[in-house]
Amino acid sequence: MSRRTIVALMGAGIMGAPMARNIARAGFAIRAWNRTPEKVKALLNEGVSVCATPFACVADADVVILMLSTGAVCDEVLFGADGTQGVAPVLKRGAVVVVMSSIPVETAQRHAERLKALGCGYVDAPVSGGERGAIEGNLSIMAGGAEGDLARVLPVLSAMGRVTHVGPCGAGQLAKIANQLIVGVTIGAVAEALLLVEKGGGDAEAVHRALQGGFADSTVWRQHGRRMIERNFKPGAYAHVQLKDLDTARDLAASLGLDLRFGALARDLYARMCETGGAALDHSALYLELAEARKTPPNQPHALANMTNGS
């Protein structure tokens, strides 16, 4: 595709807005739509056209990117729900739809089949790297789909990060589920390690530096360990999204006859965190859930209930 390829991006939130900026900086003509219009106004000054409706956003677009919250929301925007019309029937024939949301494998496969019948290609390309990766344009992008479809959208995806073709449609989501399983469990391990250091009278800052470069080092240790030490839980990735992805992992594992012990524990901890007021915090705020669980008496207010997004 040429540099004047028309790109439509639907879902310009924490991740989608910086992704749109990077696509614009790469020289593509890009439009954005978001259900909450105020979140996309700032993009007008950064080379991104803002559309009032999803239909205006996708009109004549060559590449249509979805960065929405769930598979159900992607279904609704593409194909409609409860009597509403989705955008799929008005997509340009030959367009490629790229779903960068984390959704179930079977949902991605169903999308691909329905869009193929309309003459459109499909790539499932979920991402890892969080808000920082989206801002810096170095997301890890796990792409599933036909080689031809991926080749057509590769220049656009490359404006947002490093792309790896992991297999046919659905394989990108499978890779993302594996990623989220590792992230969810590792955040719990990092939180418990820092709690152990702090309760044992150690210097968390010094230990955080000391473990970098060793076997325990990871992006989670560096970035989320830092968040925990600073008590900075402004969301770069929401806890409720992490829970949604761990639910997806659980359901897929059950369908395959697998018992994910660590994943199940992480999932239950995130569920309690979301139930007690932490759903809109960063997923690294699991640290607070683990700290609070040891000292909150039954039927007493949970500390997370008093937290705000800026805490």
Find the helix packing angle between 171-199 and 239-255, rounded to 10°: 120
Q: How far is Cα 52 from Cα 29, in angstroms, rounded to an integer?
A: 17
Q: What are phi and psi of 270, to 5 degrees?
A: -65, -35
Q: How far is Cα 93 from Cα 230, in angstroms, rounded to an integer?
A: 50
Kindly report which listed range (16-20, 81-85, 229-233) carries the lowest average pLDDT score.
81-85
pLDDT-above-90 percentage for the chain: 87
Kindly report, residue by residue over 252-278, the tens digit of the pLDDT: 999 999 999 999 999 999 999 999 999
**pLDDT of 284 strictly over 70:** yes
Q: What domains, with CATH codes, occur in the chain?
A: 6-169 (3.40.50.720), 174-303 (1.10.1040.10)
**pLDDT of 310 strictly over 70:** no
Confidence of residue 38 (pLDDT cuts 50, 70, 90): confident
**pLDDT of 309 strictly over 50:** no
Residues in the chain: 311
CA distances to 58, 238, 272, 277, 305 from 301, in Å: 46, 22, 13, 10, 7
pLDDT of residue 107: 96
Across all residues in the chain, what is the average pLDDT? Answer: 93
Kindly report, residue by residue over 147-186, the tens digit of the pLDDT: 999 999 999 999 999 999 999 999 999 999 999 999 999 9
Q: How far is Cα 102 from Cα 240, in angstroms, rounded to an integer?
A: 13
pLDDT of residue 311: 38
pLDDT of residue 80: 95
pLDDT of residue 306: 60
- Furthest CA-CA distance within the chain: 64
Find the helix packing angle between 71-79 and 105-116, rounded to 10°: 10
* 140/304: higher pLDDT: 140
- Taking residue 238's Cβ as centre, other Cβ atoms within 10 Å add up to 21
92 is catalytic: no
pLDDT of residue 83: 75
Q: 3-class secondary structure for 77-95?
A: HHHCCCCCCCCHHHCCCCC
pLDDT of residue 303: 58
Q: How far is Cα 62 from Cα 60, in angstroms, rounded to an integer?
A: 6
Q: How far is Cα 276 from Cα 289, in angstroms, rounded to an integer?
A: 9
Question: Residue holding tokens 């019948």?
Answer: 117
CA distances to 217, 265, 267, 278 from 261, in Å: 23, 6, 10, 23
Which of 68, 67, 85 lies closest to 23 in space, CA to CA? Answer: 67
pLDDT of residue 73: 95
Kindly report, residue by residue over 294-308, the tens digit of the pLDDT: 554 445 555 566 664
**What is the residue-wise DSSP string for 201-225?**
T--HHHHHHHTTTSTT--HIIIIIH
pLDDT of residue 292: 87
Confidence of residue 59 (pLDDT cuts 50, 70, 90): very high
Give the chain's radius of gyration (CA, Å).
20
pLDDT of residue 37: 85
**pLDDT of 81 strictly over 50:** yes
Confidence of residue 82 (pLDDT cuts 50, 70, 90): confident
Spot the catalytic one: 116, 176, 244, 295. Answer: 176
pLDDT of residue 41: 86
User: Do 21 and 175 form a contact (C-beta atoms < 8 A)?
Assistant: no
Which of 186, 282, 290 lies closest to 303 in space, CA to CA? Answer: 290
In our burial notation (b when 16+ CB lie closer than 10 A, e otherwise), range 119-158 reads: ebbbbbbbbbbbbebbbebebbbbbbbbeebbebbbbbbe
* 81/64: higher pLDDT: 64
Kindly report, residue by residue over 115-129, the tens digit of the pLDDT: 999 999 999 999 999
User: Do 68 and 43 form a contact (C-beta atoms < 8 A)?
Assistant: no
pLDDT of residue 39: 82
